[in-house]
Amino acid sequence: MSYVFLTLFLALFGFLGGGVGIGISLASTAMVMIGVFTDIPMGKLIAQHSFNILSNADLVALPLFILMGEFLFRTNLSRTLFNGLAPWAGLLPGRLLHVNVLACSIFASISGSSAATTQVVGKMTLTELRRRGYGEDIVVGSLAGSGTLGFLIPPSTVMIIYGVLAEESVLRLFTAGWIPGLLLGACFMGMIMFLTWRNPALIPESERKLRHLPFAARVAALKELAPAMFLIICVIGSMYAGVATPTEAAALGVLGAFGVAKKQGAITLETIRAVAIGTVQSCSMMGMIIVGATILGSATAALGVPDAVTQLVTELDLPPFGLIVLLLLMYLVLGMFLEGFSMIATTLPVVLPLITAAGFDKIWFGIFMVLAVEMAQITPPVAFNLSIIQGITGIPMGRLWRVTLPFLLTMMSFTLLLAIFPQIVLWFPNYVLGIAR
C-alpha cells in the first residue's frame, strides 16, 4: 500500500506542479493509478463515470447559479445594498463597517459565489468607506472575511459540488447552511465591534456620533433593498415554499437577475456576450474538476486507499474532536496552494469514508468543508478573495493577509465550535423542516 500512496502523491503533485489544470491532473492521476496497479479497462471507466456524474440532475443547478451571478455582477446591486443598509448599520458600534457584513450576507443568499460576493459588494463599499475616512485596514479585512459568506449562506456552488460528490441532498445542505452562515456573520460583526472599541481611530471622528436620522427616513431607505429581496424570494422562497427544486429555483433566479439587470439598463449585446463567455468558462472548469474527482475517487476506492487511511487514523486512536482539529489544520495548509473546489475534489474521496467511520454526519461535514474552503479564500498565496481586493485597491498581499487574520481566526474558532456543538448545523434541517436523511 505504501507504493500506492507514493504513486498517488507523486503523480498528483507532479501534474499540479507542472501547471496542468486541476481537473485534468485529477483524471490523469487516476489513469496512472489504474494503469500501474490494476487491469481495469481505462477507457470504459472514464466514459462511464463522466456520463454518470455529468448527467446528475442536481448538477444542473450549478451552471444556472453561475449564470445568475454573471448577470448580477453587471448590475448596480452593490449601490442599492449600501444605500439601504447604511442608515441601519450606523446604529451599531463600528458604524458603516457593518455594511460589509450585511451586504455580503444578502448578496450571498442570491449569488452562491464567494468571489462574486466580494467583488460586487467591494466595488461600492471599499470606495465609499475609504472616502468617508474609515481605517483602510479594517475596511478591507472585514470585506475579505465577509465575502467568504458567499459559499456558506445558501445557495452555494460549493454545496452543490459537495452534494453531488458525497451523494447527499443539496436541499438539506442548503438548509443546514443558514444558521451557521448567519451566526458567522454575527461573529464578524462582533469582531468589528471589538476592533473598533480597541482602536476608535478606525472610525472617522465625523462618524463616531450616532446620526439622528428620522425613523421614517431609515424605513424609506429599505426600498433600496427591493431588488435583492425580489431575487431572494425567487430563489430561496420558491425552494422552501415547496414550489421549486434547487434546480428550478436557480432557473427562476436567472430570470430574476436578468429582469433586475434589464430594469437597471445593464443589458446590452456586449453584456450578454460577456455573461455567456464567463458562464461557459466557469462551468467548463468546474465540470472538469468534478469529472476528474469522480474518476480519482473510483480509482482510489478500487485500490483500497480510503480503507487504508481509515485504518491508519484509527490506529492513532484520536478522539473525534482531535480528528476534526487534524483535518482543519490539513485544510489550512492545502488552502495555501489549492482553491476551494480543488480542495474538495482532491480530498473528499479519501476523507469522507474516514469521517463516516468516525460517526460524523455527512451534512455536518459538508458545512465543515464549506468553512474550510472559505478559509482557503483568504489564505495566501492563492487566496482568491484577497486577490480580488488587491486588484481593486493595489494593497500588497502581505498587508492584506495581516489585516484579514482576525477574521480568519474568527472562522477557525467558529468551525471548532461547530465540532463541539454539531446541532448548530443539524437542528434546522432535521427538526424544523423535517427533511429526512
Give the contacts of 76 (CB within 8 A, at least 6 positions apart).
264, 266
Determine the residue type at 6: L
Cell numbers representing residue 331 in the block: 485544510
- The reported pLDDT for the residue numbered 289 is 77
In a domain, residue 416? The reply is: yes
Strand (E) or helix (H) holding 317: none
Yes or no: say if 187 and 410 are a contact pair by the CB < 8 Å rule. yes
Distance separating alpha carbons of residues 238 and 255, to the nearest angstrom: 13
Distance separating alpha carbons of residues 212 and 138, to the nearest angstrom: 25
Furthest C-alpha separation in the chain? 76
In a domain, residue 294? The reply is: yes
In a domain, residue 269? The reply is: yes
Tens of pLDDT, residues 33-81: 888 888 777 777 788 777 877 777 777 888 888 888 888 878 888 788 8
Torsion of CA 254, 259, 260, 265, to 10 degrees: 130
Strand (E) or helix (H) holding 181: helix 170-198
Coil, helix or strand for 214?
coil
Distance between first and last Cα of the chain:
34
Distance separating alpha carbons of residues 299 and 177, to the nearest angstrom: 31
CB atoms closer than 10 angstroms to residue 273:
10
Query: What is the chain's alpha carbon radius of gyration, rounded to the nearest angstrom?
Result: 22
- The reported pLDDT for the residue numbered 210 is 61
List per-residue pLDDT tens for the chain, 437 residues long: 677 878 887 888 788 778 787 778 888 888 888 888 887 777 777 887 778 777 777 778 888 888 888 888 788 887 888 889 988 888 888 888 999 999 999 988 887 778 778 888 887 888 888 888 898 899 999 999 999 998 899 888 889 889 888 888 888 999 999 999 999 999 999 999 999 999 988 888 877 666 677 888 888 888 988 988 998 888 888 888 878 888 888 899 899 989 988 988 888 899 899 989 988 888 887 788 778 877 887 787 788 877 777 677 777 777 888 888 888 888 888 777 666 777 887 788 888 888 888 888 999 999 999 998 888 888 876 677 888 888 878 888 889 889 999 999 999 999 999 999 999 999 988 876 564 44
DSSP string, 244-268: --HHHHHHHHHHHHHHHHHHTT---
Q: Structurally, how many domains does the chain consist of?
A: 1
In a domain, residue 49? The reply is: no
With b for 16 or more beta-carbon neighbours within 10 A and e for fewer, the 119-154 pattern comes to bbbbebbbebbeeeebbbbbbbbbbbbbbbbbbbbb
In a domain, residue 126? The reply is: yes
Please count the helices (runs of H) and the strands (runs of E) in the chain. Answer: 24, 0
In a domain, residue 47? The reply is: no
Give the position of cell 452543490. 160
DSSP code of 210?
P
In a domain, residue 37? The reply is: no
CB atoms closer than 10 angstroms to residue 309:
18
In 205-303, which ranges are E strands?
Answer: none
- The reported pLDDT for the residue numbered 393 is 84
DSSP code of 394?
-
Cell numbers representing residue 96 in the block: 458603516
Yes or no: say if 253 and 65 are a contact pair by the CB < 8 Å rule. yes
Domain that holds residue 238: 60-432
Would you give the distance in Å from CA 165 to the centre of its chain? 16
Give the position of cell 500512496. 5
- From the list 36, 22, 124, the residue with the least C-alpha distance to 82 is 124
Measure the CA angle with vertex 331, ends 54 and 363; round to 5°: 55
Measure the CA angle with vertex 235, ends 128 and 372; round to 5°: 70
In a domain, residue 255? The reply is: yes
